[in-house]
Amino acid sequence: MKIVDAKVVVTSPGRNFVTLKITTDEGVTGLGDATLNGRELAVAAYLRDHVAPLLVGIDPHRVEDTWQSLYRGAYWRRGPVTMAAIAAVDVALWDIKAKAAGLPLYQLLGGASRERVGTYGHADGRDLPELFDAIRSRLAEGYPAIRIQSGIPGLKTVYGVHSSPDHAEAELHQQARPVVEDWDTAAYLRHIPTVFEAVRNEFGPELPLLHDAHHRLTPAQAAQLGKDLEPYRLFWLEDCTPAENQEALRLVRRHTTTPLAIGEVFNTVYDYQTLITEQLIDYVRSAVTHFGGVSPLRKLFDFAAQYQIKSAIHGPEDISPVGMAAAVHLDLAVHNFGIQEYAGYTPLTHEVFRHAFTFTDGHLHPGEAPGIGVELNEELAAAHPYEAAYLPVNRLRDGSVHDW
């Protein structure tokens, strides 16, 4: 078998997605997700201009060799643009290999280690009544675990909190200029433990609760928050400090038993080296899409397993259904699976990317279609072209930029 075409499709059925479609001389095709939120066209150009020409003519079954040649051969290693591009190739090749074998991808990864894949969903509110309503909605949808994000008194807009529940969908259409959010760490640290206390009082001790600090704290602040949240027994506290500094987690870990999750912005195993070998975290959060694909993520999970660290693949709305499908195959197969984030998609996104994976009773299953089980409706994708969009920026009260 030989690759005859590699084409990049950028579509915005509510938000932008970048998809690589590889076609072989035997007519078998494969899809990969290369979506990098707010920087989509950089990855599209990397793929179109620098990777696609190298793929034509090669044997698509050589997944590992292709990965290594794209990673090592570029000389300029790592980074989100490079690794998202390599991820798309890796997943598309796994898709082709599994289709050629007539098997769903999870079978090539060792087969199912579980019957279904547990998820967590998002609940947010500007105040407690709004948050409680959101939690009730997620519970009604069947989610077995819930991430809680809350408005902070005195702050206008906070990460993960929609300006009104009715606007949740509209806000998926991101802005053509970055929205400016405001931030006050002291106000946040005072308020969040009271939110978890109220949620525990209302919903009881059993519901697994998560929280994302989105890289905003210093190690000492994160340690304090972890300690303050201990009575509420979180499933995890996510991205408590900026992810670049692995050593920062030593201090956090020494001071709190709240489980820690990190890694959605990481793109290679080297970003995790200290965190894993010193057992400073409990969950690795990388997405198939931003970590170079199924091949390296599988290796990361195997490495993490030696240190009792579990998988928790990043699954917000900005991972396309192609990236999500690949994730769910891995989730079903790896032994040290922890949880899968699943934020769901707009109805139009489900139409553009028809997929075999299912979401029932808060659990995902990849389905039994050969490959990753996603088909791209190219006509519908073309009818919804790229829209300029940015993630927000975050500023303190004095106007200076803070981590977002």
* Minimum distance of ligand GCO from residue 341's CB (angstroms): 6
Give the catalytic positions in this structure: 159, 214
Residues 205-264 close enough to bind Mg ion by CB under 5 A: 212, 264
* DSSP summary character for residue 362: T
* Minimum distance of Mg ion from residue 384's CB (angstroms): 26
Residues 32-61 close enough to bind ligand GCO by CB under 6 A: 37
Q: Which residues pair with 33 in a beta bridge?
A: 19
133: CB partners within 8 A, 6+ apart: 125, 165
Residues 252-281 close enough to bind ligand GCO by CB under 6 A: 264
Nearer to ligand GCO, 318 or 331 (CB): 318
Please check whether residue 63 is in contact with residue 94, taking contact to mean a CB–CB distance below 8 angstroms: yes
The option from Mg ion, ligand GCO, none interacting with 341 (CB < 5 to 8 A, set by class) reads ligand GCO
Please check whether residue 296 is in contact with residue 317, taking contact to mean a CB–CB distance below 8 angstroms: no
Instruction: Give Dmax over CA atoms of the chain in angstroms.
Output: 62
* Minimum distance of Mg ion from residue 91's CB (angstroms): 21
Residues 304-333 close enough to bind ligand GCO by CB under 6 A: 314, 316, 318
Residues 187-216 close enough to bind Mg ion by CB under 5 A: 212
User: Quick check: 90 binds Mg ion (CB under 5 A)?
Assistant: no
The option from Mg ion, ligand GCO, none interacting with 316 (CB < 5 to 8 A, set by class) reads ligand GCO
* Minimum distance of ligand GCO from residue 53's CB (angstroms): 29
* DSSP summary character for residue 371: B
Cα angle for residues 400, 404, 36 (degrees, 5° grid):
130
Nearer to ligand GCO, 160 or 367 (CB): 160
Please check whether residue 333 is in contact with residue 109, taking contact to mean a CB–CB distance below 8 angstroms: yes
Cα 319 to Cα 161: distance, rounded to the nearest angstrom:
19
Q: Cα dist. 217→209, 225, 391, 396 in Å?
A: 20, 9, 19, 13
The option from ligand GCO, Mg ion, none interacting with 37 (CB < 5 to 8 A, set by class) reads ligand GCO
Q: Look at residue 5 and give its three-state secondary structure.
A: strand
Nearest Cα residue to 32 out of 106, 90, 105, 119: 90
User: Quick check: 212 binds ligand GCO (CB under 6 A)?
Assistant: yes
Please check whether residue 350 is in contact with residue 325, taking contact to mean a CB–CB distance below 8 angstroms: no
User: Quick check: 317 binds Mg ion (CB under 5 A)?
Assistant: no
Site string for ligand GCO, 331-350 (x = CB under 6 A): ----------x---------
Which residues are at the interface with ligand GCO (CB under 6 A)? 37, 212, 214, 264, 314, 316, 318, 341, 391
Which residues are at the interface with Mg ion (CB under 5 A)? 212, 264
